[in-house]
Structure 1
Amino acid sequence: MRKVSVKAADGILVEYGDTKLLLDPIRSSGDGLVFVSHAHQDHLLESGGQRVLTSRETAALAAARGRVIRNLVSEVDGFKMMNSGHIFGSRSLLINDEIYYTGDFSLRSRAFLKGGETPRCKVLIIETTYGREDFTFPPIEEVVDRTHKIISEQFSSGRPVILMGYPLGKAQ
């Protein structure tokens, strides 16, 4: 395996052999390739002149949110985008079957989204909100049942129910 360097740089900078890759950067330095894992605001960069590897779905959602991704590329030799299961269009990235990066992800299938893929790799890089052990969530069926029970109790008591959520969705 070639030498790998990983640094924080307005995102995650990976230098792997001759490859320079910025993972989910907030700003781009104008150098190397950028990978955008999904269309949540904290993962969308201020678009510069760099080539951006992302899914077509993520590019479309980004544009709808006012962030146009220029220089979109959907394939790069040695790089494989994989489903991360986080939101519609979200992807993780396998580099030369050795380095695996994922931004936020979910291994659970739900509604129309399949759980994320987890390939074998030599180096794993995760950028995620809920990476600590104390953020272990119950099975989705349990959450749905509990939510249904609470809503039913409120309606039965004559109380109004207001549900709030992220417009683009969010699952961990």
Structure 2
Amino acid sequence: MRKPLLIFNDKGIYCQQANVYIDAWRPVDKCIVTHGHADHSRWGHKEYITHHNNVPIIKHRLGEIEVTGKEWNETFTINGVKFSLHPAGHIIASSQVRVEYKGEVWVFTGDFKTEDDGLAEPYEPIKCHTFITECTFGLPAFKWEAQAEVFKDINEWWATNKEEGRTSILFGYSLGKAQRLLKHLDTSIGKIYTHGAVENMTEVVRPYYDLPPTTLITRETSKEEIKGNIIVAPPSAHGSTWIRRFVPFVTASASGWMTFRGARRRRAIDRGFVLSDHADWEGLLTAIDATGCEKIITTHGYTDIFSRYLREELGYDARTEKTQYEEEGSETGTSTPLSDHNSAPKINDEI
């Protein structure tokens, strides 16, 4: 019986034949990184491989590292194993990893979403034998409204707040969600101001993506200047002394967890918009079907419930594996509700 092409061990997802890890959570010699969120791109690896648009992102977050950038669909071979990166649609420069050896193909999705958000490279279905999929929102209760409708609501909320003489503060994680929000805010309503963490990351990716003008909030920025406009800030800014200077303001959070009414109340947020960078229930099932896979491994999320549904209702050979991937409160229910992504050395998302 052939050994599995990819295994899960105490360091991460491992390809023994190539001696390469994917999104390892402990330091390893060689690691393929799917995207820049800190739960998938950890500090301490000797060599990183990632999509070339993700190179400046992880360098910004991790400091001086040895990293090689690859193009989409570019095949690179390590000890007979063929690897390639394919768009995951999760956030800017996020990848799935295709792994092929002796005719057997595995795909690791990393984090992904199937809706084209107009900014991240759209999700690409890949045929495979074994599909390793996240299931952060692997419950039927999670069904996303079309993005256009969500942003219509966000922009109407901002316009109403402006008419009432209040500043709008919209929370989104500094990498990924914040840029998606910026992309679709209606600048005819007013100006977009940013918290330092959002501005710093946006400037890193601006050369590669079409984003609107933003204004960094500094100590010299007055409350009168900002009044009626919108601020995009990381969730960690909520309740901070930084935010109190903008009274009167109204707060909102954009997250898949806003599906649950209690989530907004627990977070002490005035308004919640259901907007996720992960696939919903239908997106997960559609993605699986498109692969034509024979086996499915579910990771991080509602793994047991989702894999059981795949086995008992759809007849798949499905099982679960434990990982150390968490969205640190942005898109999972397991961590502090409004903490920003965990930081490796040289990272500061709180500035």
- The TM-score range, normalised by the shorter chain, is 0.7 to 0.9
Task: Give the match for residue 208 of structure 2.
Answer: none
Pair 94,169 (structure 1): closer, same or farther in 2 beyond 3 Å: same
Q: Aligned partners of 1:143 and 1:70: how far apart in 2?
A: 40
Q: Aligned partners of 1:114 and 1:73: how far apart in 2?
A: 16
1:37-85 Cα offsets, whole Å, 9 max, x none, are: 0011111122333x43211221211111234431536352211111111
Task: Give the match for residue 106 of structure 2.
Answer: 99
TM-score, normalised by the number of residues in structure 1: 0.81
Pair 112,157 (structure 1): closer, same or farther in 2 beyond 3 Å: same
Task: Give the match for residue 84 of structure 1.
Answer: 88
Q: Does 1:119 align with 2:126?
A: yes
2:40 is aligned with what amino acid? H
2:18 is aligned with what amino acid? T
Q: Which runs of 4+ in 1 moved over 4 A?
A: none
Deviation at 1:140, TM superposition (A): 0.5
Between the aligned residues of both structures, percent identity stands at 25
Task: Give the match for residue 168 of structure 1.
Answer: 175
Q: Mark the runs of 5 or more structure 2 residues left unpaired by the alignment.
A: 178-276, 279-351
Contact kept, 8 Å, 1:84 with 1:92, in 2: the verdict is yes
Task: Give the match for residue 151 of structure 1.
Answer: 158
Q: Report the secondary structure of 1:162's partner residue.
A: strand
Q: Report the secondary structure of 1:150's partner residue.
A: helix
Give the structure, 1 or 2, with the largest relative contact order (CA under 8 Å, sep 6 or more). 2
Deviation at 1:107, TM superposition (A): 1.5
Task: Give the match for residue 39 of structure 2.
Answer: 42
Q: Aligned partners of 1:147 and 1:73: how far apart in 2?
A: 35
1:143-172 Cα offsets, whole Å, 9 max, x none, are: 112212222222233332112222221322
Task: Give the match for residue 10 of structure 1.
Answer: 11
RMSD: 2.5
Q: Aligned partners of 1:131 and 1:21: how far apart in 2?
A: 29
Q: Mark the runs of 5 or more structure 1 residues left unpaired by the alignment.
A: none
TM-score, normalised by the number of residues in structure 2: 0.43
Task: Give the match for residue 141 of structure 1.
Answer: 148
Q: Aligned partners of 2:27 and 2:65: how far apart in 1?
A: 12
Q: Does 1:62 align with 2:58?
A: yes
Which has more radius of gyration?
2
